[in-house]
Every structure is written in C-alpha cells, then in structure tokens.
Amino acid sequence: MENELALLNNYLVVGAMLFGIGVIGFVSRRNMIIIFLAAEMMLQGVSLSLVAWARYHNDFGGQMFVVFIITVAACEAALALALILMLFRASGSLDIALWQHLREANQPAYVDEEIPELEVKSPTWPRLVPAGRQPELDRSDTEHRPSV
Amino acid sequence: MPTIVSIVLGALGMWLLLPRPSLRGRLAGAALAAAAAGLLAGQLPGLAAALDQALFSILAAVTVASAAAAVSLKNPVYCAIWFAMTVLGTAGLFLLQGAQFLAVATIVVYAGAIVVTFLFVLMLAEPGARAAYDRLSWEAMLSAVGGAMLIGVLSTVVGGLLAGGPAGAAAARGEAELAAGVLQDGHVAALGRAMFTDYWIAVQAGGLLLLAALVGAAAIVSGGRSPAAPEADPRPPEDQPPAEEH
C-alpha cells in the first residue's frame, strides 16, 4: 500500500532527525546532565522508527523492542545519574572537560580559547502604582486651547 | 456517535461565542467550536487522511523543534523542560501509530526520569547559564555538520530503499489485516500476550537487568565501601580518655 509506505518513510525520517539531534548534543555539549538528556533523545528516535516498522510489518516485535528500550533507558538513567553524582562529588562541577585526562594517550589537551561573556540583564524594577490624593486640576488649564 | 458529540460540542461552542449579556467564556467557546469542527472533519472520508497528515506534521514539527531546543539551550533547566516536550511529542507520534500502551508507558517512565533530572539540575547545576561550560561546546561546527550529515544519509538511504526496493509483503496488505493485527481494538491485551508468550525470556532478562542496574547504582553511589570494612574514623574512640588531660 502506497500510503503505508509513505507513513513509514515519514516516521523513519523523524526518528533519524531525533537521533541526529541527540548525537549533536551528545558530542558537543559539556554539561553532564545535558549529555544524559541527549542520550535519552537518541533512544527516543530509535523507538520511533521501531514503532513505525512494527506498524508496517503488522507485527508486535517492534513494539516489544520499544518496551525493552524503555527498560534499558530506565537502567541507564539510574546508572548515569549515580555516575553524575559521583563525578560531581569528586570535581565539584558538571563540566565533562574536567575529566579529559581519560582521553587517549597521544591526544593534546583541549583548552578553551575564549569563554563568552555572561550577558547580564539590567534588573527590572517594579512599577509603582500611583497612590495618595489625586491632585486637583485647574479646569481652565484643561479646557483652554492656546490656538484654534 | 462522534458525529453527535461533535454537533453538541459545536452548538455549545457557538452559544458561548454569540454575544450575550455576560461575555464570559468566549475563548472556551472558540476552543469548543474548533474542536467540534475538527471532530466533524475527521468523520468525513476525504478529510480524515488529510487530518491525519496534518496531525502528524504538527506533532513531528513540535518533537523535532523541541529536541533542537533541548540540546542547544544554555540553561539546563530549559533543556530539561524542552526534553519533556520532546517526550510528549514522541508519545503523540506513538499514539498516532496505534501504539497506545507505548505512548502511556513512555510518558509514565520519562515523567519520573525528567523529575529526577530536574532534581539533579536544581541540586548540581549553576542556575541561569552562569557556568562557563554551559556557554561553551566542543567543536560546535564540526559536530553540527556531522550530525546533519548523519540525518541526511539516514533519510536519503531510507527513502531510496523504500522507493526502489521491493515493498515486500507489507505492500499488498490492506487495512483489514492491519485492523486485525497491530491496530486491533484489544491492543494492550494482544501486546501483553505477545510479551508473555513469544518474548518471555526477554522479559526475564529485562527484570534481571533492572535489578543489576539498581544494585550497580547503589554500589556506585556508596563509593565501593562495604559495611565490613568501615573507613578509618578520624576521631579518637570515645571510651579512651584523651591523652593530654590534666
């Protein structure tokens, strides 16, 4: 059926996009919590394509795979958050670059060239409502027109 | 039955929209009327497919856009919020594919995961992107180009395979067969039957994996200390008097 084929293609493209965005976040971000979220996002992309295949082949196997992906994601969350907690205790920061001495032996160290400035917003003050007695207006002031 | 519901909803919405002495509830009326129009349009044979397509487009756009926001925003709190939006969009796409159990399970499991992630962000991260590592990334351009190429290769290869290759047995399958298979009414019952007959070994392995992850997480957080060998206590024992007491 042409329609089912188009549906499968759409879902696979969306799954690939989720996976690719997850890969970009996983390799480029430096906050360990965001790296964890990006890994979960890759799992979501794979789950989406598996569900699409399950519908296309009219078989529950793909959906069963997703059930086990959710199980593995739960295990991964438990282990990853425990590891993040331990690494934070050891270094006092969520920066993954503090652990770059685990890289390969002959790789040069990564040094930040420039740290972008933190843009500080000017504080917004509360607007004060007018209070007290309303001043009396001179009627001749308000009704007088200097020129006609 | 959906036709009657949509007509009743539409009448209620129009009543709320019409000018009356009290103008309250006009927004709710507009929402009700729009929902009724959508429900009625879903009944029409020609429009149902287009509506499905539109629903898919909206859900896919929301999912992908919130995924991009989740990995690219500086403040980790916003990243967690946008990741929750991604999970909701994925659950909607699951529901659109007829995987109702998976949609609900995804929301339930990831709700817990996201709440715990929030807790971690609040405990550990520096708020408002104040940390330098939130404002920097490794090789941003290189990773963006690599990820985009990955997406491009995956989608063109998949599109080419589907367009050129034999569509397989699924090509000849009709709606009736789908309605008796993955899209049947007793979806959850059929999924459970498949899970506990064809895949019961995998279910056992999954349970074992969860137990191992639990034990592993506890072992990691306790830092490898065992109760038999407690750490050396820096304080002197209490039953001995201190040495320099005069």
Instruction: Judge: B120–A112 Cβ closer than 8 Å, yes or no.
Output: no
Q: Is B134 on the interface with A (CB under 8 A)?
A: yes
- Distance between CA B194 and CA A73 in Å, rounded? 21
A37 touching B, CB under 8 A?
yes
Point out the residue among A61, A82, A118 whose CB comes nearest to the CB of B217: A82
Q: Enter the tokens of residue A133.
A: 């007695």
* Residue of A146, A36, A116 whose CA lies nearest to A83: A36
CB contact under 8 A, B71 and A1: no
* DSSP of A26-80: HHH--BHHHHHHHHHHHHHHHHHHHHHHHHHHT-THHHHHHHHHHHHHHHHHHHH
* Maximum mean pLDDT: which of A72-81, A103-112, B158-167, B168-177: A72-81
Domain boundaries, chain B: 1-43, 48-127, 182-222
The fold of B48-127 is Four Helix Bundle (Hemerythrin (Met), subunit A) (1.20.120)
- How far is the alpha carbon of A148 from chain B, nearest alpha carbon, in Å? 42
Cβ within 8 Å of B, A 119-148? none
Q: State pLDDT tens for residues A3-59.
A: 777 888 889 999 999 999 999 999 999 889 999 999 999 999 999 999 998 888 888
pLDDT tens digit string along B20-52? 877 777 888 888 898 888 888 877 877 777 888
Which residue is listed with tokens 């188009």? Answer: A6
Q: What is the mean pLDDT of residues B101-119?
A: 87
Of B67, B159, B172, the CB nearest to A41: B67
Binary contact (B217, A60; C-beta < 8 A): no
Taking only the tens place, the pLDDT of each residue in B78-93 is: 898 999 999 999 999 9
Cα distances (angstroms) measured from residue B172 to each of A20, B92, B163, B166: 32, 27, 15, 11
Residue A21, burial from CB neighbour count under 10 angstroms (0-12, 13-18, 19+): buried
Contact by Cβ (8 Å): A70, B109: yes
Contact B213 A66 (CB under 8 A): no
CA distance B239 to chain A (A): 33
Amino acid type, A31: N
ipTM of this model?
0.79
pLDDT digits 0-9 by tens, A65-108:
999 999 999 999 889 989 998 888 888 888 888 888 888 888 88
Domain A2-101 falls in which CATH fold? Helix Hairpins (1.10.287)
Residue A144, pLDDT above cutoff 70: no
CB contact residues (below 8 A), chain B span 136-195, against chain A? 136-140, 143-144, 146-148, 150-151, 154-155, 158-159, 162, 167, 170-174, 177-178, 181-183, 190-191, 194-195
Which residue type is seen at B59?
L
